[in-house]
Structure 1
Amino acid sequence: MNSPVDILKRYWGFDTFRTQQLEIIESVLNDKDTIALLPTGGGKSICYQIPALIKEGICVVVSPLIALINDQINSLDAKGIKAFHIPAGSSQDEVVRIFDNLKFGNYKFLYLSPERIQSKFIQEKIKQLPISFFAIDEAHCISEWGHDFRPSYAELSILKELKNDTPIIALTATATKKVLVDIDSTLQLKEPILFKKSFYKPNLSYRILKSEDKLYRLKEIFTKIKSPAIVYVSSRKKTVEISNFLNANGFKSASYHAGLSAIEKEVAYKGWMTNRTPIMVATNAFGMGIDRPDVKVVIHYNIPSSIENYVQEAGRAGRNSDNSYAITLTNESDIKLTLNLFESSQPTLKEIKFTHAKLYQYYQIAKGELVETGFDFNILEFCNVYNLPTRKVFNILQILNNFGIIELNHFSQKKSTLQFLIHHNQLNSYKSANGKKIKFIDTLLRMYGGLFEQEVQINEFTIGKLVGITSTRVIDILNELHIDQIINYKKSSKNSTLYFLHPREDDLTINRSSKKITQLLSYKHEKIKNLIQFIENDTVCRSVQLLSYFGEENPKVCNTCDVCLRKEKIIDVSSQILNLIKERTEISSREICQILNYKERDILIHLRKLLAEEKIKVTNYNTYLLV
C-alpha cells in the first residue's frame, strides 16, 4: 500500500506535508471521526483526498457550491483521479447510470451538495455504495451560529443513519467553539479527534487604514503593488463602479458578483487567473474555492459582515507564504453607516411574527390550512404590498427558512426560453423583409435545435458573444421578434420559490422556536459589536485580537499590523529625539524637524510625550534639554 507521502509526491508533487495535514490523514486512515479546523489556504482538501486514494471504496464529499465541486473535480481529473458529481436536472435513469459507474468504474470520489443528500432516492443509492468515509467540506455551514448557515447542512445527521459505522471528517476554515460543538452534535460524531491549526499567519499583515478618500487610497496602493489582488465591496453596483474607476486610472480590473451569469463569472475568473485583469473587484460571492497562491493584497473597501468572513476573505492573500497584506479602508462615516444598516435590517421577534402572518395572508391561505405546492415569490412585490423594508424582510425570511418554518429556494432561477411560432417558409420571408436580423436569426438556429417544435432554454450572453453584440441588445432583438409574433420569448425569472412547511397557525408556529430565535438575534448583535470593536481597537495587535476571538491562548504579537507598526514608530522617533538632544545638548523643535525625516506633527507629539515622561525639559527659549 502506498504511504500518504508517496501519494502526495505522485499526485501533488510535494515531498512534505504542511502542519497537521499528516496527523489528520492518519486519523481518517484509522477510521476515526475527525474535525479539521484549518485556516483559509491551509490545504484542507488534501486531508480527505489522500486517505480516499489509499482506502478501499468511494469517498462521498459534501460541498456547498456547484462551482467549488466543479473546481475540485477538474483538479482531480487533471491528476488522472476519477471523480463524479450528479449534475442539476439529472433524470432518475441518469442517476442510476452514475451510481453504476461509481461501483464498477474505479471511481474514488462522489461529490454531492447537501440538498442532494436529502433525496430519498439518492440515500438508497448511497446505502448500496462501498463508502470509505464521508467528508463534509465547509462544515461551519452546519451551525445556525456560523456565518454561512445552510439548513440542508443541519440535516446531515442522516449520514450516520445511512452508514452507521462509516467515519466522517468535517473540515472548515473558520469556526468558534460554539460552531465546533454544533458540528460534533449535528453529525453525531463518535469521540471525534479535533485538529485545530493556529490562525496565526506570520506573512500576512493586517492593516486598518482610516481614509476619507478611499478611491485615492486605492490608487496609492495599486501604484505600489503590481501583483494579483482582490477588492471586496458591499454591493453589486459598487463592483462595477470601483472596477470602472480602476480601469480609468490605468489599472486592469474586472468585477464579480452573484448576479452575473455562469459564463460572465467564468470570463471574469479566467481573466483574473491569467493576469489579463489581475485586480478582482467583488462581493463576497467571490469566495469558496478561490485558490490562487500569489494574491498579494486583499482590500476590504467596505466593512465586512463579520470577523469570520473577514478572516476567510483576508486569508486569500499570501497563500504562497510571501509577505502579503489584508487592508481595510474605513472612516467614522463607514462605521456609523454599518451600525445603522445593521440596526435597521435586524428584526424583533414581534416583526418576525408579523411578517410570517402576512406571508400566509399574501397567498390567501386560511388558518389551519397547509398548502404543499410552492409559490412564486418576489420579495420586492411582497414588501411593496405591505410597505415593509426589504432588507429587514430578507433577514426575516432567512430566519424562517433556517428554523424550518418555510423553505425559500433562492436558486430556482428559471432560464430564458424561446420557440419559433411560424414555419420555415414564413421565417425566410420575414428575414428577407428584415435584413438586419438575418445573422441574428441564423445564429439562433445554429446554436439551438428543436426551436420550431418546443420551448428551448437559451443564454442571452452566449448569443451576444457569437453575434458580436451585448446581451442587453440580444434581449431587445428577442423582444422585437416576440412583438412581431415570430417567436415566443420568455425572459429568465429570478423569483424565488416559497414553500410553507407548517399549517397556518400564525404566532403559535413562531413561539415553538422563539427562545432560539431570540438567542440568534442576540448573537448577531454580539457579532457586529465584535467586528466594530476589532476595527476601532488601535491599541492591541490585530493578529492578537483575531486569535483571541477564535479562542487561541497566548497569541503572538505580529509586529507587522498597523497597530504594531505605530507602536514601533513611537518608540523609534522618541529614541531618535533623545539621541539627538544628547548629541547637541540643547536643540529647538525646528532643528529636530530639519534633521529627522518625520512629519512636524509627529515630532511634536513625541516631544510632548517625552516631556510628560520627564525625560526631557524645555527652556525659556523653547529649546530642549535632557533631564
Structure 2
Amino acid sequence: MVDQVENLLKRNIPAAAIHSGITQREIDVILHRCIYTNDIKLLYVSPERLQTSSFKEKLSKMNVSFIAVDEAHCISQWGYDFRPPYLLISSIRDIFPNVPILALTATATPTVVNDIIDKLKLRNVQVFKQSFYRENLIYNVIETEDKMGKLIRLLKQFPGSSIIYVRNRKKTVTIAKHLHALGFSAIYYHAGLSADEREARQKAWINNQFKIMVATNAFGMGIDKPDVRLVVHLDLPDSIESYFQEAGRAGRDLKLSYAFLFFHNSDIDDFKKNILISFPDIQIIKQTYKIITEYYQLQIGDGENEIFPFGINDILTNVDISSNDFYNSMILLEKAGYIALSEGIKTKSRLFFLKDKNEIYKFQLEHPEWNDFIKVLTRTYSGLFTEYSNISEDNIAQKTNLSIEQVFNSLNSLKELGIIDYIPNKGENTITFLKPCIDAENIYIPDIVYDDRKKIILSNADALISYITNQTKCRSQLLLEYFGEESIIRCGRCDVCVSRNTVDLSKLEMDNIINVIKPLLREQAMSENELLEHFSIMDEIKVIRVISWLIETNKIIRLPDMKLSWNK
C-alpha cells in the first residue's frame, strides 16, 4: 500500500494508506481529512479494518464514490490465499448500497471469478479479462541438488534487478550474505523486520542501491518496479497462483525476462507434509479447546465474550501437545468462530544485538549483573547477531525466573544502553471466547474451514506439483490452461520447449556449441558440470544433447575419473 500511495503522490493524486506501520494519531488525521476536508482522493485500507465498529462508523461519514477490492481472489474459499476478513467487504454494501465496486485480481480461475461475484454481491456484473500470456517472460523449471551453484551462474548472466524467493526468514539472511560475500549486490526482506526496516529495504532495491532482493513471499505486494529481469524460486511456492504472481514481477516493462524455479524431489515431500501439519486431526483440535477452557477454568455455558490474557508457554506447561499442533488448532478454532485471538498472539516481539559478540562479551565482563540474562538470550535464540529474531517474553521469564514485568524492564534497559534493539509486541496477548463454553467433544469445525479448505489446498498443491514435474508440455500453455485460457501455440523458449526443439538442433547451433567444447577438452579434461559453466544456463539442454552426441560418435571419451576429454 505504501509503495502505491507514494507513486500516486508523485503523480499529484492525493492518496493515503492506513496500515500497521503508522500511529493511531496518524490514523485519526487521515480519517479526519477523508470526512471533513475531503482532500484525499484514494484511501487504502486492509479488509481487517472492517472488523472494528469505530472504523465502519467513520467510513459511513465519508463521501465514497467508488470501491476497489485489490487481490479479490482472497475473498474466495477456492482461491489459493483465502482470507476470511475479505468476506467482511460485502458489509460495505449496507453502508453504500449504490456505490459501484471494482474487483481486481491477477490470478483467478473461472471458479474463483464466480465466487468473487457471489461473495461481493456484485450486480450488473461485467467481467474484463486480460490474457494470462506473458510473451516476454520465459518460464523454466530445473531439477537440481545444487541450487546455489545454479543460482550463482544465473546471477552472473543477469546483471539487472532480480528477486530470489525462499520459504523462510533465515534463508533470506544467509543467502543474501553469501551472495554479498561473492561480490553480488544483495539485500534481504521478510515479515520479521520492522515496518520501517522493510520500507527502507524496499526503497533501496527499487532505487537500484541493491540489485538482488532475497525475500520470503512477504515481499512484492504492490511493488511497481518495471525492470526486473530475473525471478528465481529456490523453494516451492504456495500454489500456481502465487507462483504466477511472484514470477510475474519480472519484465513488467515488456522486455525479455526470465522466471526460474529450482526444485529437488525432497522439496515435494516437504511441501505436502507442511500442508498436512497445518490441518491437525479433529481430535487434536478438540484437545486444544479442552486445554484452553480448563486453563481458564470455564464451566459449560460460561465464558461468552470474556477476554483473558494469553501466554502460550504457561498454557502448554505440563500438557501433551506440540506447539505446532496447538497453534494450528487455535487458528482453526478462530476461523470456526469459537475464539478470537488478538494480533499480539500472531505477531511476536523482536530483538537484535547492536554490538558484535566480542563487544557483548566485554560488556558482560564489565557488567556482571547482566551476564546471566544475556546468556539466556543468546542460548535461547539463534541469529540475534545477524537478524531481528522473534522472542517470547514469557519464555525468557521462565528461563530467568523473573516476572514478565522484570523481563520487559530488563530488555528496555539493554535497549537504552545501546546493547540491543528491542521491538516489543504492540498488542496485548489476549484470547476472547466468542461462544459459551461447550464440551470439547461437541466442537464442530465447518467444512469451509477444514474439510473443504484442506481438499482445495491439496488440490492446488497437486496442480503445482504437476506443473513442476511436467516434461512434455510448454510451461506457458500449462499456466494458461490452469487459469481457464486455451492456447495451441507453444512459447518455444521455456525449458520444455527447448528440450523438444533440440531434437531438430540446427547445424549452426550445433557447430557453435562444439566450437566451445572442443578447445576446452583439448586443453584439459573436464566434468559435464565444468563444461556447462562455459554456457548460458538457458542452453544447458542443448549442450547436454551435443555432449551426448559427441560421446556416441566417439569425438569425446570418458576417462577413468569420469571426466571428459577430446579424442585426439
Pairwise TM-score range, normalised by the shorter structure: 0.7 to 0.9
Letter in structure 1 aligned against 2:458:
H
- Alpha-carbon displacement from aligned partner over 1:164-186 (angstroms, at most 9, x marks no partner): 11111111111223322222122
Higher RCO (CA < 8 A, seq sep 6+):
2
Task: Give the superposition deviation at 1:110.
Answer: 2.4
Task: Give the superposition deviation at 1:480.
Answer: 8.4
Task: Give the superposition deviation at 1:132.
Answer: 1.2
Please, which of 434, 437, 450 is the counterpart of residue 504 of structure 1? 437
Instruction: Identify the residue that residue 104 of structure 2 maps to in structure 1.
Output: 171
Please, which of 253, 276, 281 is the counterpart of residue 320 of structure 1? 253
- Alpha-carbon displacement from aligned partner over 1:522-547 (angstroms, at most 9, x marks no partner): 22221211111111111111111111
Please, which of 56, 64, 75 is the counterpart of residue 131 of structure 1? 64
Task: Give the superposition deviation at 1:602.
Answer: 3.1
The 3 A distance-change label for structure 1 pair 119 and 484 is closer
Task: Give the superposition deviation at 1:333.
Answer: 2.3
Task: Give the superposition deviation at 1:478.
Answer: 8.2
The reply on whether 1:191 has 2:140 as its aligned counterpart is no
The 3 A distance-change label for structure 1 pair 356 and 103 is same
User: For 2:104, what is the secondary structure of its paired residue?
Assistant: strand
The 3 A distance-change label for structure 1 pair 243 and 597 is closer
Distance 2:416 2:219 in 1: 41
Instruction: Identify the residue that residue 142 of structure 1 maps to in structure 2.
Output: 75
Letter in structure 1 aligned against 2:339:
I
Distance 2:434 2:503 in 1: 61
Please, which of 179, 182, 189 is the counterpart of residue 256 of structure 1? 189
The reply on whether 1:553 has 2:486 as its aligned counterpart is yes
Assess if the C-alpha contact under 8 Å between 1:296 and 1:317 holds in 2: yes
The 3 A distance-change label for structure 1 pair 247 and 182 is same
Letter in structure 1 aligned against 2:231:
V
Instruction: Identify the residue that residue 528 of structure 1 maps to in structure 2.
Output: 461
- Alpha-carbon displacement from aligned partner over 1:545-568 (angstroms, at most 9, x marks no partner): 111111112354211111011000
Assess if the C-alpha contact under 8 Å between 1:380 and 1:390 holds in 2: no
The reply on whether 1:364 has 2:297 as its aligned counterpart is yes
Task: Give the superposition deviation at 1:225.
Answer: 1.0
Instruction: Identify the residue that residue 603 of structure 1 maps to in structure 2.
Output: 549
Instruction: Identify the residue that residue 337 of structure 2 maps to in structure 1.
Output: 404
The 3 A distance-change label for structure 1 pair 555 and 286 is farther
The reply on whether 1:232 has 2:165 as its aligned counterpart is yes
User: For 1:326, what is the secondary structure of its paired residue?
Assistant: strand
The 3 A distance-change label for structure 1 pair 378 and 208 is farther
Please, which of 252, 256, 264 is the counterpart of residue 331 of structure 1? 264
Letter in structure 2 aligned against 1:137:
D
User: For 2:139, what is the secondary structure of its paired residue?
Assistant: strand
The 3 A distance-change label for structure 1 pair 326 and 156 is same
- Alpha-carbon displacement from aligned partner over 1:472-500 (angstroms, at most 9, x marks no partner): 9xx9998488499999x996138854322
Instruction: Identify the residue that residue 44 of structure 2 maps to in structure 1.
Output: 111
Give the alignment's Cα RMSD to 1 decimal. Answer: 3.8
Matches within 5 A, 1:5-404: 68=1, 70-86=2-18, 95=28, 98-99=31-32, 102-377=35-310, 382=315, 385-404=318-337
- Alpha-carbon displacement from aligned partner over 1:118-172 (angstroms, at most 9, x marks no partner): 3333333333332211111111121233232222211112111111111111111
The reply on whether 1:492 has 2:438 as its aligned counterpart is no
The 3 A distance-change label for structure 1 pair 373 and 414 is farther
Tell me whether 307-316 or 551-560 shows the greater mean CA deviation. Answer: 551-560
Instruction: Identify the residue that residue 519 of structure 1 maps to in structure 2.
Output: 452
- Alpha-carbon displacement from aligned partner over 1:405-462 (angstroms, at most 9, x marks no partner): 3223335758799xxxxxxxxxxxxxxxxxx99xxxxxxxxxxxxxxxxxxxxxxxxx
Task: Give the superposition deviation at 1:313.
Answer: 0.7
Assess if the C-alpha contact under 8 Å between 1:573 and 1:606 holds in 2: no
Distance 2:206 2:68 in 1: 28
Distance 1:198 1:485 in 2: 55
Task: Give the superposition deviation at 1:247.
Answer: 1.1
Assess if the C-alpha contact under 8 Å between 1:140 and 1:175 holds in 2: yes
Q: What is the TM-score of this pair, normalised by structure 1?
A: 0.66
The 3 A distance-change label for structure 1 pair 496 and 296 is farther
Assess if the C-alpha contact under 8 Å between 2:299 and 2:437 holds in 1: yes
Instruction: Identify the residue that residue 424 of structure 1 maps to in structure 2.
Output: none
Tell me whether 478-487 or 348-357 shows the greater mean CA deviation. Answer: 478-487
Task: Give the superposition deviation at 1:575.
Answer: 12
Uncovered stretches (5+) of structure 1, i.e. residues with no partner: 1-67, 418-435, 438-468, 578-595, 608-627
Distance 1:222 1:75 in 2: 29
The 3 A distance-change label for structure 1 pair 180 and 490 is same
User: For 2:280, what is the secondary structure of its paired residue?
Assistant: coil
The 3 A distance-change label for structure 1 pair 98 and 564 is same
The 3 A distance-change label for structure 1 pair 95 and 397 is same
The 3 A distance-change label for structure 1 pair 177 and 304 is same
Uncovered stretches (5+) of structure 2, i.e. residues with no partner: 352-365, 368-385, 394-406, 511-541, 554-568
Assess if the C-alpha contact under 8 Å between 1:173 and 1:312 holds in 2: yes
The 3 A distance-change label for structure 1 pair 97 and 73 is closer
The 3 A distance-change label for structure 1 pair 386 and 325 is farther
Tell me whether 309-318 or 101-110 shows the greater mean CA deviation. Answer: 101-110
The 3 A distance-change label for structure 1 pair 218 and 120 is same
User: For 2:44, what is the secondary structure of its paired residue?
Assistant: strand
State the number of aligned residues: 469
- Alpha-carbon displacement from aligned partner over 1:22-75 (angstroms, at most 9, x marks no partner): xxxxxxxxxxxxxxxxxxxxxxxxxxxxxxxxxxxxxxxxxxxxxx1x222222
Tell me whether 528-537 or 362-371 shows the greater mean CA deviation. Answer: 362-371
Assess if the C-alpha contact under 8 Å between 1:86 and 1:95 holds in 2: no
The 3 A distance-change label for structure 1 pair 278 and 162 is same
Instruction: Identify the residue that residue 426 of structure 1 maps to in structure 2.
Output: none
Structure number, greater radius of gyration: 1
Distance 1:255 1:372 in 2: 42
Distance 1:385 1:309 in 2: 40
- Alpha-carbon displacement from aligned partner over 1:566-592 (angstroms, at most 9, x marks no partner): 000123279999xxxxxxxxxxxxxxx
Distance 2:101 2:272 in 1: 40
The 3 A distance-change label for structure 1 pair 546 and 351 is farther
Letter in structure 1 aligned against 2:255:
D
Distance 2:388 2:458 in 1: 42
The 3 A distance-change label for structure 1 pair 569 and 189 is same
The 3 A distance-change label for structure 1 pair 252 and 97 is closer
Letter in structure 1 aligned against 2:98:
D
